[in-house]
Structure 1
């Protein structure tokens, strides 16, 4: 019995080693999305640029598009913003969700750094973010013309990420994105 007890610390060490090794091999940008292949969640929130106008998920339908969750307090959002402006200039439709932010700061941000968004939903309380399963900003979703979520990316959008997003959008548009 004593000999078996000598192997217990070794077995515990091997078990911990396995879980640490497994944890290091997980890519944090590939977080699962419960909303994948489901309609964009229902919402009724104010427009950031026209606060008197209420927006709903119907405002995001009509063509394949990106939906970008961003905030002025998010340093990574600032990093990706220039690239989003380039995409918008190329004709890519991008909707914004201003997440847990102050409207005045968000409007000033868009004046200062330019506005790549076709529309911006003001999600001050984070309720839409919760319904989407947002872990934090930035996150970007690809939606089809019917408003169904087809892809989710956690983190900044750059040229490398855009290649993946563009592939999905090209498939949705039949090759014309």
Structure 2
């Protein structure tokens, strides 16, 4: 009997693990709360994307006003899909909008923004991806709302959709503006 229990135990553990994974397979990755929520933005300085015509930026730029920081790359298809919504966000709210261009060649970033338009006040080149890591970025695109005190108050993982713009991002900006 003891031998049977020792044999069955690993099988039961395996079945339990499969059940846990099966129940969580459709889990929305945007539900993963960032450890940086309610924390100050990481200290960083990003140079401008060469030849883009807008400055780079640093953590000091993210204080004194509500800001939105969008991490993007020209090679990112979902970034292309969300780009018109970032332009609409800028037009609707007038919020300060900053871009972190992750692991991208300057000529590709310039072509991307020349084709789709540049809604950003500043775009920092994160060639090595180090600043993105400090922000806790899992992958592009990701978007953050920063309050006037330089505190990250919201994170959206993945591309912004019309629904997430209306139901998540705009309300987060409004809450940040209200203090």
Same fold (TM over 0.5): yes
Taking the aligned partners of 1:136 and 1:102, their CA distance within structure 2 comes to 17
Contiguous gaps of at least 5 residues in structure 1: none
Partner of 1:63: 65
Q: CA RMSD in A?
A: 2.2
Taking the aligned partners of 2:26 and 2:83, their CA distance within structure 1 comes to 29
Give 1:8-47 correspondences, 5 Å limit.
8=9, 11-24=12-25, 26-47=27-48
Cα deviation for residue 62 of structure 1 reads 2.4
Q: TM-score, normalised by structure 2?
A: 0.86
Structure 1 outlier segments of 4+, above 3 Å: 2-10
Partner of 1:127: 130
Q: Secondary structure at the match of 1:156?
A: coil
- Cα distance per residue 1:74-111 (max 9 Å; x no partner): 01000101111111122233211111101121112111
Partner of 1:171: 175
Cα deviation for residue 39 of structure 1 reads 1.1
The yes-or-no answer on 1:136 pairing with 2:139 is yes
Q: TM-score, normalised by structure 1?
A: 0.87
For the structure 1 residues 86 and 7, does the alpha-carbon distance in structure 2 shift closer, same or farther, using more than 3 Å as the test?
Answer: same
Taking the aligned partners of 1:86 and 1:138, their CA distance within structure 2 comes to 17
Report the count of equivalent residues. 174
Q: 1:89 aligns with which of 55, 78, 91?
A: 91
Q: Secondary structure at the match of 2:174?
A: helix
- Cα distance per residue 1:15-56 (max 9 Å; x no partner): 1333223432532122231211111111122122358x5532
The yes-or-no answer on 1:161 pairing with 2:154 is no
Q: 1:146 aligns with which of 149, 156, 165?
A: 149
Contiguous gaps of at least 5 residues in structure 2: none
